[in-house]
Chain A
Amino acid sequence: MTDRRTGFLFMLLAVLVALIFTSLVLVIAGASPVAAYWYILKGSLGSWTNFANVMVAWVPLLLATSGLLITFAAGLWNIGIEGQIVLGGIFTTWVLRLLQHSAMSPALILILAIAAGAIGGALWSVLAGVLKVYGGVNEIFGGLGLDFVAVALTLWLIFGPWKRPGIGSMSGTEPFPEKLWLPTVAGSRLSLWALLLGLIGAAVVYFLLSGTYFGLKLKAVGKNPRAAHLLGIPTTAYLMSAFLLSGLFAGLAGAVQVTAVYHRLIPAISSGYGWLGLMVSMLINFQPAWVAPVTLFFAILNIGSIQLPIVLKLDSSLSGVLQGALVLSFLLMAGARQRWQEKHGQEVSRE
């Protein structure tokens, strides 16, 4: 069997295992797996409106995952990505609030607000970077702590200084006037500008990681920081720029959530896309070329499962179970495949 064919077979096996596991979970919950999968597909691809919603979810996920690949290239687990998306949303909201009554053109205000979001995400990310590089705090814990702080900051803003006239509520801040919304395709919630931003972002990261010296050196730092340092690569500077760039993308994701989707700041502004981006990154083994299709697939699962509570009385967290099962079974199969190849005397291919 050729190496390629083995790889494909193991991939197929991984998908099969994940589907069997999820089906078992559905059976335990007393539901029909076929019906559940059918409603997920129908809820995401069954109509133009549903597919537009998939694209709406795709954009922030695409941006977050693209950003994560930069930190992963440097060997960093940027778990703080959730908080960075949140800070992006907060900074965007902040600039919109400041400028919404000014005489500036709405287009300019939107551009400034989105740029501010990117800066907000980058700042939060750099903070995790400083804690890691100068304070010795592992980025997993630093980032995670900052995630929780970011959520608390959002709640404080929504119930405190930015509360709606009258009383603050979980529904978020006062919506912005319609002229400050990113224009959407008629009859849907999809903004082509946001979509464009997401696609450009993914392309930039693809090019950065596979076609530039910066990307090459970043990967060198990620593989072996000491060797990279001995080769004259300024390790600290590269680690910090990885945090900065990753946070920039996460901040953009948050900016899109505010300007194109919710038009205000809500408590769950990040919608868990940071966590999901981490899952996708692991599933695709950190290869930039796979970001766009796999994030689209995950967005399909997320949007499709939204109807489950209504049609089947199931919790929508099923999408998370299926996504988790997929990633886990891919990781396990990757290991199984290596073992199988070692046993059968084949060279272990490095992707």
Chain B
Amino acid sequence: MSSHEILIGLAGVLFAAAPVVFATIGETLTERSGIINLSVNGTILLAAMASFAVSVSTHSLWLGFLMGMAIGALVALTVAFSSIALKQSQVAVGFVLTLMTRDLSYFLGNPYMGLRGPRVQSLPIPVLGQIPIIGPLFFRQDPLTYLSFILIGAAWWWVFRTRPGLTLQAVGERPEAAYARGAPVHRLRYLYAAVGGALVGLAGPTYSLSVKAGWKGTISGLDGIGWIALALTIFGGWDPIRGAAGAYLFALLQWLGLVLQPYMPNIPSQVLQVAPFPLMILTLLLVNIGNAEWVDRTLAGLPPDARRWVRRILRWMQVVPPASLGVPFEEE
């Protein structure tokens, strides 16, 4: 493999990671406010199908993207509404929605299977695109990839460096305290459910109108990605930058799987396609195991030096969810 091919491959990784970045950051924002939207997997499928259908029928990419984001926001608002107004379990409602939206996408998408539709064109940026290495990686992409780059920084800045972001954190951690200080907890949870949901929805058209253009029903290869995004939200410790890093790692591993496949003829391609899932378990294990009691007990038996290093690594990996994630709150 030449260095040129590797560069093209890596640019492809950044491109293919964009929808995962959207979904992971969207879910991160929603969960930061205390709402778990478990419907991500089905939402992405339905948004991908619907936005493709809209774009094919209207020849407008804009309307397609609008459709995908609207679906994402609507589904997430359903979760928020059933939790806030109707006191139902977020996990239950989210799970039903993830299955139902998936079946809806297959049912309604049937007539659009295999059709040719419009797709987003790449938009090289003049001057910057000519810089060696950096140019092809970051400045010869399509607008969605640029948007994903901007979103990572913007979301991080919003959550950790602005006043509304501070309120968002407070709403997810200690809603009573936030409410006492005048934050409209329920309204903010609806807002972040809608915004986060719209970003999750954006992942749909980013696939069906760009990364994997078209709609192929059950063999679209999108089923499962939403679950990865949910796991990446945890892996990222509810931090947009760390979550996005996880998304790039995921895309990188998928690309490596494709590149290495010819060297492993005995392993069917279907097996390599699911490789991210055991890795998902492993990463979740790594970020959570520091919380386990038996680990502490085992570590006590190690020599002090080794213990200190293991502790340091575990603490670096460890993540703690927003304290009120999934917990209902009564405004009085």
A contact set with B: CB distance below 8 Å: 25, 28-29, 77, 79, 131, 134-138, 140-142, 144-146, 148-149, 151-152, 155-156, 159-160, 275, 278-279, 282, 314-315, 317-321, 323-325, 327-328, 331-332, 334-336, 338-339
Task: Name which of B87-95, B114-122, B173-181 contacts chain A.
Answer: B87-95
A327 touches B96 (CB 8 A): yes
Within the complex, the shortest CB–CB distance from B31 to chain A, in Å, comes to 13
CA distance A65 to B284 in the complex (A): 27
Contact with A along B269-300 (1 / 0, CB 8 A): 01101100110110011001101101000000
Q: Contacts A142-B281, A159-B268 given: A25-B99 contact, CB under 8 Å? A: no
What are 24 A-B pairs at a CB distance below 8 A? Answer: A77-B95, A79-B95, A135-B285, A137-B281, A138-B234, A142-B281, A148-B224, A149-B274, A151-B274, A155-B268, A155-B270, A156-B271, A159-B270, A160-B266, A282-B95, A320-B100, A321-B107, A324-B100, A328-B97, A331-B86, A332-B93, A334-B86, A335-B85, A339-B86
Among residues 250 to 274 in chain B, which have CB atoms less than 8 Å away from a CB atom of chain A?
266-268, 270-271, 273-274
**B interface, size bucket:** 35 or more
Smallest CB-CB A-B distances: 7 pairs:
A335-B86, A324-B100, A320-B103, A136-B288, A148-B277, A152-B274, A145-B281
Interface of B is mostly: helix
Does the CB pair A325–B100 fall under 8 Å? yes
Task: Tell me the residues in window 50-81 of chain B with beta carbons closer than 8 Å to chain A beta carbons.
Answer: 78
List the count of A-B residue pairs having beta carbons below 8 Å apart: 141
Residue of chain B at shortest CB distance from A325: B100
Q: B227 to chain A: closest CB distance in Å?
A: 5
| Contact (Cβ within 8 A) B292 A134 | yes
Chain A min CB distance to B89 (Å) = 8
Contact partners of B217 in chain A: CB under 8 A: 315
Docked pose: A340 CA to B107 CA in angstroms: 35
- Residue of A136, A279, A314 with most chain B CB atoms under a 10 A cut-off: A136
Q: A315 — which chain B residues lie within 8 A by C-beta? A: 106-107, 110, 217
Asked if B104 lies at the interface with its beta carbon under 8 angstroms from chain A, I say yes
- Chain B residues lying within 8 Å of A77, measured Cβ to Cβ, are 91, 95
Residues of A near B108 (CB, < 8 A) are 25, 28-29
Contact residue among A25, A131, A140, A325 (Cβ-Cβ distance under 8 Å from B91): A140
